[in-house]
Chain A
Amino acid sequence: MSQEKPQFDISYVAHLARLELTEAERQQFSAQLQNVLAYVAKLNELDVSNVEPTAHAVPLTNVLRKDELRPSIERARILANAPEAARDLFITPKIVE
């Protein structure tokens, strides 16, 4: 990988993550994260061409459960946590497709 400074468009990434940032945050985070990215670039020093990524911390497979019912939760409890609920639904600002 080349050694050039990574192209870090913080506005784009913040949008991907649905985070609204103030202008001050944009500037501050951008500088701080550029530092971090410069630091993590040290990983490029290593030759990992023959190394498998660690996908899971434990080598298990086929962790499956039987197709059985478990009690659902009472609607009143979950709607109680909802910021806005009506007609037994979670209400959100209008979703336009």
Chain B
Amino acid sequence: MEYEAVIGLEVHVQLKTKSKLFCGCATGFGAEPNTLVCPVCLGYPGVLPVINEEAVRKTILAGLMLECEIARFSKWDRKNYFYPDMPKNYQISQYDLPLCRGGHVGKFGITRIHLEEDVAKSFHFAASSGVDFNRAGTPLMEIVSQPDLRSPEDAFEYLTTLKEILVSGGVSDCDMEKGQLRCDANVSVRPVGQQSFGEKVEIKNMNSISGVRRALAYEIQRQIAALKRGEKIVQETRRWDDEAGVTSVMRTKEYAHDYRYFPEPDLMPVTVSDAWLEEIRRSVPELPEAKRRRFVEQYGLPEYDAEVLVADAAVAAYYEEAAACSKNPKAISNWIMTELLGRFADNKMAPAQLAELVAAIDSGQISGKMAKEVFAEMFATGKSASVIIREKGLSQISDAAALEAWVEQAMAAHPQSVADFKAGNTAAINFLKGQVMKLSRGKANPQLVGEILARKLQKA
């Protein structure tokens, strides 16, 4: 019997705001423990939350980018449960009226997106645990997918696409290592053709996108193997161990999850007006997929180039500025991909200057080899190509008469090579070419030298 997997992903994304969701403490990773806290995010007696407008805005922006329906009326609810990483032992979240509904990540549907506060971080020692509340109160977007995914690869695709979109919109940096994007999965298997879903298992503790793929691959196999043995799948929560490569049952939480949701009395609902929605809509950037397609069509670039360039917004912008004043967008792409990526921040060369360099090569003013020298100087100093070429006297010599003279000189000085060439050793032309370059102190246009040599050798 053939089985297929049904996967749903629940992703939590920390929003890239300056301050937390309900108080003015800074958001941030890696700060000294318990230094980004105040009575509000610590759940002190008597405190009250106040909503960060930017968090709402970014959530709506994400919703627009994922083509969700934005709720015109949205509210807040208390989700009640006790845990040491919960300052109030209730989490302010959204239950029945979230900010966004529907939408999709690539070809996979999503159910909803809502905004809630993040919990604190615990550290575990031998006989005790310690809690750092820096993270508590960070704005968190929860994105729930439809159970549309069918394979670990789907999950990988879902997460990379989601990350790419959210990063492009400035919604989040989605760095999983910093906890800015966290993913839990619900996995079940069923015989191919069966309409109803199998018993689903929740998988937690997947700390990278490839880790998600690995965990799902293991879990799907585990479930199929169990079913084939005649066992039933128990609805439970399992923990992925990336090192051991297995999922195992988590100590089932002793309390049943009766969250006792009720409307948050301390916070007022959010109504999104037409005007506000339009304003946010105008700030939706070109989505990465669309941008890649445009780069291919507009600049005639191969898909590979488009992918590389679009991956970083600053690089893409740089490319477009350079390509706008160049007749050779492919060459621009090549230069950026081979020479600028990886040290983009230190680059002093302006986009138009790169275009000028490419034009100088294409016109034969300088050789490809010299161009590398020029590029290095442009990168370090920000001087334009023409200035550097002039200062260093690097212009290639393309004057036919001068080149012919050197070619004849080289041929005369090395008759053996000429003879070798005539005898069928075509490689001898390279030696002669090298000699011409030497005579010209490297300034001869190598392409033209090659043509003239070929012509003269023919006649010799």
Contact = CB atoms under 8 A, between A and B. Distances in A.
Verify whether A and B have any Cβ pair under 8 Å: yes
Interface in B124-160: 124-133
B50 A89 contact: no
Interface in B1-58: 17-19, 23-26, 32-39, 42, 50-56
A67 B56 contact: no
A78 B136 CA distance: 15
Interface string A72-97: 11010011000000111111111111
A90 B43 CA distance: 13
Interface residues of B, number: 52
Contacts of B284: none
B130 A56 contact: no
Interface string B263-297: 10101111100000000000000000000000000
Interface residues of A, number: 36
B37 A72 contact: yes
A16 B36 contact: no
B271 A88 contact: no
Contacts of A63: 50-51, 267-268
Contact of B255 (A16, A61, A70): A16
A90 B25 contact: no
Contact of B239 (A16, A56, A79, A97): A97
B82 interface: yes
A89 B33 contact: yes
- Please report whether the interface of chain B is mostly helix, strand, loop or mixed according to DSSP: loop
B132 A89 contact: yes
Contact of A15 (B39, B123, B124, B255): B255
B52 A96 contact: no
B26 to A, nearest CB: 6
Contacts of A56: 263, 265, 268-269
Given A55-B75, A67-B19, A67-B52, A62 B268 contact: yes
Interface string A46-73: 0000000001111011111111111111
A79 B33 CA distance: 11
A18 interface: yes
B229 interface: no
B37 A69 contact: no
A78 B34 contact: yes
A16 B82 CA distance: 9
A75 B75 contact: no
Nearest to A88: B33
Interface in B360-406: none
Pairs A-B, 4 closest by C-beta atoms: A70-B24, A89-B130, A67-B54, A64-B53
Interface of A: 15-16, 18, 55-58, 60-73, 75, 78-79, 86-97
14 contacts: A16-B255, A55-B75, A56-B263, A63-B50, A64-B53, A67-B17, A69-B19, A89-B33, A89-B123, A89-B130, A90-B131, A91-B128, A92-B130, A92-B131
